[in-house]
Amino acid sequence: MNSQKHPKAIYEGRWIFIGLGFFWLLALILLPLLALPIGLLIIFSCYFFRDPERVVPEDPKLIVSPADGRVTSIEEVDGVEGDLYLTARMKRISIFLSVFDVHVNRSPIAGEIIHSEPRGGLYLDARKPESSLLNESRLWIIQGESFTVGVKQITGAIARRIVPWAHVGDHLKKGERFGMIRFGSRTELYLPIDVEVLVNVGSQVHGGSTVMATSKK
């Protein structure tokens, strides 16, 4: 279990808290009726930028979810389009994150980050399949002792910023935080073709704790 406290999620929302706090104080002085809805926005922002601790399964064969949200698709694909590292046929599990989900991303396995690349793009609704190809994104490739996985962070119609907290060469524990996406978005998990997927479309998953698949290696 990775028990290290991680205040970075709250830090990423600092300007939102400062701006809302300023307008809340201004509303108290000039227009008290606005203070309540602004106060509710401050409370929601605190809720959005939460980062709870998770119990991470220790078995190295168990691959955990990189994100909180709902599984929207499970399919086989020929690697990641435009990427030179993940070119073999793989299993892809797509997760949609609503604005009510935790938006911190965690490593599905223990391993070294061997690739991390941002890509510009659009801001389509992250629930649409085409958002995987067209939206702004960042692909992470994590190499474990026995196999390699990919995690793709994808922006959405509301999410406009992917925040990396780790770098190529870093060694991550399973379930360790490596970044976040601000507001509703999509996260994709790319797995070796021979893993056994343990979730279904519609499953609600939690980053770092929900077992997504098990490896035979």
Q: What is the pLDDT of residue 41?
A: 94
Residues 168, 78 share a domain: yes
Q: Check: CB of residue 90 under 8 Å from CB of residue 193.
A: yes
Q: What is the pLDDT of residue 128?
A: 81
Could you give the number of structural domains in the chain?
Answer: 2
For residue 12, which of 184, 207, 186, 181 has the smallest C-alpha distance?
181
Q: What is the pLDDT of residue 10?
A: 85
Residues 86, 171 share a domain: yes
Residues 35, 120 share a domain: no
The residue-averaged pLDDT of 130-146 equals 91
pLDDT tens, position by position, 181-217: 987 689 999 999 999 999 999 999 999 999 999 998 7
Total-model pTM: 0.90
The residue-averaged pLDDT of 146-172 equals 91
The yes-or-no answer on residue 185 being catalytic is yes
Residues 66, 43 share a domain: no
Residues 180, 74 share a domain: yes
Q: Check: CB of residue 162 under 8 Å from CB of residue 186.
A: no
Output phi, psi for 95, to 5 deg.
-125, 125
Q: Give the domain extent around 17.
A: 8-48
Residues 190, 113 share a domain: yes
Instruction: Given the residues 131, 185, 209, 215, select the one marked as catalytic.
Output: 185
Whether 55 maps to a domain, the answer reads no
In the predicted model, is pLDDT for residue 5 greater than 60? no
3-state secondary structure (DSSP) of residue 139? strand
Residues 196, 99 share a domain: yes
Which whole-number Å values give the CA distances from 31 to 23, 24, 35, 39, 42, in the listed order?
A: 10, 9, 7, 13, 17
Residues 67, 44 share a domain: no
Residues 78, 40 share a domain: no
Percent of the chain with pLDDT over 70: 96
In the predicted model, is pLDDT for residue 124 greater than 60? yes
